[in-house]
Amino acid sequence: MSDEKISLQSAICPMPLSHTDQIVIGHGSGGRMTHDLIQSVFAKQFSNPALDQNNDAASLNIPSLSQSCQRIAVSTDCHIVSPLFFPGGDIGRLAVCGTVNDVSMLGAKPHYLTAGFILEEGFAISDLIKIVASMKQAADEAVVQIVAGDTKVVEKGKADGLFITTTGVGFIPDGREIGGEYAQDGDQIMVSGTLGDHGIAVLAARGDLGFETTIQSDVAPLNHLIDLLLSAAPHTHVLRDPTRGGLATTLNEIAVQSQVGILLQEQELPVRDEVRAACNILGFDPLYVANEGKVIAIVPAAEAEEALSAMRSHPYGKDARIIGKVNSTPAGRVLLKTTIGATRVLDMLSGSMLPRIC
């Protein structure tokens, strides 16, 4: 788990860490204390044959290469969410799911993750243990392994508790061509569920709402949902998770990449009443609020009904909806047909609406 070649299965037993302990600078020294931290917290949860090789890098089996797979997908993500724990999740679940989802958005099957931890001196070991257990739980749900990692410690005041960087590797089955550049005139656009839950849940956890809410983050690994979707709609053109910048920004990116027009139906956009109410009070538009467990799928019209049924058959897609369609014009633009029948341009998010949301 470190660049100092520290054995995960050393013959020397680690000094047991107490749950009342805090991170100290020595935990990042690369010496005995780092070893103890790795053994007691990380190896305890993440142990697997690839990680336990104890070398500078993990040597990985590529199960899909024998099954007509020539390409891999790689993605990396830094996580700086504040607070570290929020309704429905924590930074650990977010770090695993965010990377699993980004790899899945190419139609790849994620297999392996790496994780880098930047810890601030004074951080509670008990919180680290909770976060690492949450990562393990999310990795088990996604059926991915964490195969390499690194731990560094910075002085008190030089970071905000904990930052996590994750990198993911997945395998792209041959013949699969999914990306933001493939949307075509006539395609149907669907979203797997309600919009804006994550961003509002994190704001609520910060106490920034000024009122009580039951909104939970939607943070979840979407790879199994996407497997179902692609079995039902194998010619899916685009998959993308509308994270920072929300649905509106993500669709603008796709409209530009594919040089197509996108027309959304406002009445079809799924937004929870509580999220809408919070957005009204704060002056936010839920179409720009971050999601961490939703996917936008752009599918040929002939496969749209099958795709929708497949998404709805999975717990993370039960509220899936067709929300609009792709047109040839206006190229690079997203238009919203409002509930009163007017049409307006839906632009990208400008500036930063909600900092440190993921």
- The Cα 80–Cα 103 span in angstroms is 20
Nearer Cβ to Mg ion, position 64 or 99? 99
Cβ of residue 255: shortest distance to Mg ion, in angstroms?
A: 16
Binding mask 319-338 for Mg ion (x = CB under 5 A): --------------------
Only segment of 30-38, 234-242, 317-325, 338-346 that touches Mg ion (CB under 5 A): 234-242
Q: Are the C-beta atoms of residues 286 and 196 closer than 8 Å to each other? A: yes
Q: What 3-state DSSP class applies to 244? A: coil
DSSP assignment of 276-287, as one string?
HHHHHHHT--GG
In angstroms, how far is the first alpha carbon of the chain from the final one? 23
CA separation (Å) from 125 to 33, 38, 96, 349? 13, 12, 20, 38
Task: Map the footprint of Mg ion across residues 161-180, applying CB under 5 A.
Answer: none
Cβ of residue 181: shortest distance to Mg ion, in angstroms?
A: 15
Nearer Cβ to Mg ion, position 233 or 290? 290
Task: List, edge to edge, every strand of the sheet that includes 145-154.
Answer: 71-79, 162-172, 109-120, 145-154
Only segment of 88-96, 98-106, 176-184, 309-317 that touches Mg ion (CB under 5 A): 98-106
Would you count residue 77 as binding Mg ion (CB under 5 A)?
Answer: no
Task: Map the footprint of Mg ion across residues 102-141, applying CB under 5 A.
Answer: 102
Cβ of residue 293: shortest distance to Mg ion, in angstroms?
A: 12
**Kind plus residue range of the DSSP H or E element containing 191:** strand 188-191
Nearer Cβ to Mg ion, position 101 or 151? 101
Cβ of residue 75: shortest distance to Mg ion, in angstroms?
A: 8
Nearer Cβ to Mg ion, position 2 or 291? 291
Q: Are the C-beta atoms of residues 123 and 160 closer than 8 Å to each other? A: no
Would you count residue 241 as binding Mg ion (CB under 5 A)?
Answer: yes
Residues 6+ apart with CB under 8 A from 222: 97, 100, 101, 104, 192, 241, 293, 294, 295, 316
Cβ of residue 106: shortest distance to Mg ion, in angstroms?
A: 10
* Contact residues for Mg ion, defined by CB under 5 A: 102, 241
